[in-house]
Amino acid sequence: MPKRLLPAYPTRHKRQRGSAILIILTIIGIGAAFLLVSALNKASSQIGRDKVTSAALAQAKEALISFAATSATLPGSLPCPDTNNDGSGDNTGTNCTAYIGRLPWKQLKLPDLRDGSGECLWYALSPVFRNVLPAASRSPASNSLNNTTAGQLTVSDTSGIPLPTPPNPVIAVIFSTGTSLPGQNRAAVGATICGGNNTAANYLDTAAGISNATGGGTGTSFIAADASSTFNDKLIYITASQFFPSVNNRVVAEIRGLSQPPTSGLRMFYNTPTNHYYPCAANAGSAGSQVTTPTCLTSGLIPFSVLSFGSSTLTWLTNNNWFSLTSYAVAPNFMSGTLYPQLCGAGGAGCLTVNSYVNSQAQVTVGGISAIVCTINGMVTSCPYP
pLDDT category at 162 given cuts 50, 70, 90 is: very high
Q: Which residues have C-beta within 8 Å of that of residue 95, sequence separation ≥ 6? A: 127, 130, 132, 133
**Letter for the amino acid at 183?**
G
Positive or negative: CA dihedral 293, 296, 297, 302 = positive
Examine the pLDDT at 249 and tell me if it is beyond 60.
Answer: yes
Q: What angle do helix axes 240-256 and 311-319 make, rounded to 10 degrees?
A: 130
Tens-place pLDDT, residues 345-375: 999 999 999 999 999 999 999 999 999 999 9
Tens-place pLDDT, residues 36-76: 655 555 556 668 899 999 999 999 999 999 999 999 999 99
Tens-place pLDDT, residues 76-109: 999 999 999 999 999 999 999 999 999 999 999 9
Which residue blocks in the chain are alpha helix, DSSP H? 12-70, 240-256, 265-271, 311-319, 322-325
pLDDT at 259: 84
Euclidean distance between CA atoms 132 and 109, whole angstroms: 18
Question: Beta-strand (E) ranges in 65-136?
Answer: 91-92, 95-96, 100-102, 122-125
pLDDT category at 261 given cuts 50, 70, 90 is: confident
Residue among 371, 374, 378 at smallest CA distance from 386: 374
* Average pLDDT score, the chain: 93
Backbone angles phi, psi at 300, to 5 degrees: 175, -130
